[in-house]
Amino acid sequence: MRLSLLAACLSLAFTCHAQAPQAAQRLAKQAIIVDTHIDAPTRLLEHWADLDRAQPDREFDYAKARRGGLDVAFMSIYTSPAQDADGSAWQVANTMIDAVQALVQRHPDQFALLTSPRDAARLRQGGRVLLPLGMENGAPLGDDLGNVKFFFDRGVRYITLAHSAANRIADSSYAADKTWNGLSPFGRQVVAEMNRLGMMVDVSHLGDASALEAIQLSKVPVIASHSAFRHFTPGFERNISDEIAKAVAARGGVIQVPFGTGFISPDAAADMQAFFRARQAFNQHNAELQAQGKPPLDRAAFDRDWAPKHPPRTSTLAQVLDQIDYGVKLVGIDHIGIGSDFDGVDGELAEGLTSAADYPNLVAGLQARGYADADIRKILGGNLLRVWGEIEAGAGH
């Protein structure tokens, strides 16, 4: 395909559904692609599927990963604020880790667990897709600092300190009212212990004050595992501000750009912010009703009422490329990567980036915008592997 035609397809956000040019497919296969956020474990617990083969209802499986050139897929060990509140987060996290281990044990020729970037080249031999673990929400730690090492020993290599509500560690970006206005005393201990072990501190999802304190406190670089830039979604604290992005980069870290519509579309981001705040207000009202001995309102009814008033939005590959362009100009080519959120956003993804088979489309878009192949390799995974190695090397200091 001539470059002019490719550019036309990109401007239409791949509505023409063109296959990526051979040059893009070739680079996607040759480069090491690292995606720091894939929610396959949540889907495995909802309904098991052997991901060694194509699964039409999954955005990540072995067939799609190999077609797209994906080499390192961080499996998200996600627990919700509700599971934190009812005390089940520890059990859910361990069950998810068991599920990933079972997947690897059932299909050792297709998958391997990855706990150090030093092992990536060896374990990739034979075409395996490598599965490191990232914990989304520090809730499973409870209030026991020893659980940081417990989960490190189970293979977890980053922790997103909080998710959509404040926990014992930090504030969430979604809540208007902050609990800690930074890290909690326990949260400071958690960051220090993660540094000691060589575990990546992830500031995605955090309120600004919590993110800044984590960055300042950490003795090694930190990451944002799946954060778009707030420049495009003003007022949406879930996306990373210029100030925080510069702070991450100044310490040598990396910002991983997601593909989810809710992060890259201004309208969808506004809807998401409104949803989380409305749901928190609903939960607070229910707590007050229960304290008064009154029956709670129906949570399912809240969700049913919300959905028709806020229909799904759409987003484009061009918007993801705009995010990357902005990040590179803001903090430099050495501090940008990718964290798709596949299997985690109910299919609401940028057109042209809807599964693990589609990384060549991203490569084609970057090539069309003039990025050198060496710089594309950095964005696809080189930057994250470098940062992970630096964090690992800093362990024990």
At 305 the pLDDT is 85
Domain residue ranges in the chain:
20-265+318-393, 266-313
User: What SS3 state is found at 229?
Assistant: strand
The whole-angstrom separation of Cα 235 and Cα 241 is 10
Q: How confident is the model at residue 235 (pLDDT cuts 50, 70, 90)?
A: very high
Percent of the chain having pLDDT more than 70?
Answer: 95
The whole-angstrom separation of Cα 240 and Cα 282 is 26
The yes-or-no verdict on residue 102 having pLDDT over 50 is yes
DSSP state of 382: I
Residue with more model confidence, 166 or 176: 166
Question: May I ask the CATH architecture of the domain 20-265+318-393?
Answer: Alpha-Beta Barrel (3.20)
Cβ neighbors of 111 (< 8 A, separation 6 or more) are 51, 52, 62, 103, 104, 128, 129, 130, 131
Q: Please write the tens of the pLDDT for every residue from 53-75.
A: 999 999 999 999 999 999 999 99
The yes-or-no verdict on residue 3 having pLDDT over 70 is no
The whole-angstrom separation of Cα 249 and Cα 255 is 8
The yes-or-no verdict on residue 42 having pLDDT over 50 is yes
Unique residue bearing structure tokens 């912010």: 273
Q: Please write the tens of the pLDDT for every residue from 144-169.
A: 999 999 999 999 999 999 999 999 99
Closest CA to 96 of 36, 51, 154: 154
At 10 the pLDDT is 47
Q: Please write the tens of the pLDDT for every residue from 103-142.
A: 999 999 999 999 999 999 999 999 999 999 999 999 999 9
Residue with more model confidence, 268 or 37: 37
Angle between helix 89-106 and 146-153 (nearest 10): 20
DSSP state of 182: S
The whole-angstrom separation of Cα 325 and Cα 327 is 6
The whole-angstrom separation of Cα 144 and Cα 167 is 13
Least confident range from 32-46, 163-177, 248-262, 284-298: namely: 284-298
The yes-or-no verdict on residue 385 having pLDDT over 60 is yes
One-letter amino acid for residue 202 of the chain: D
What is the rounded average pLDDT for all residues in the chain?
93
Contact status, residue 341 vs residue 323, Cβ threshold 8 Å:
no
Unique residue bearing structure tokens 């944002």: 224
Beta strands in 192-281 (DSSP E): 200-202, 223-224, 254-257
Q: Please write the tens of the pLDDT for every residue from 72-101.
A: 999 999 999 999 999 999 999 999 999 999
Contact status, residue 338 vs residue 257, Cβ threshold 8 Å:
yes
The yes-or-no verdict on residue 297 having pLDDT over 70 is yes
User: What SS3 state is found at 332?
Assistant: coil
User: What SS3 state is found at 14?
Assistant: coil
The whole-angstrom separation of Cα 35 and Cα 73 is 5
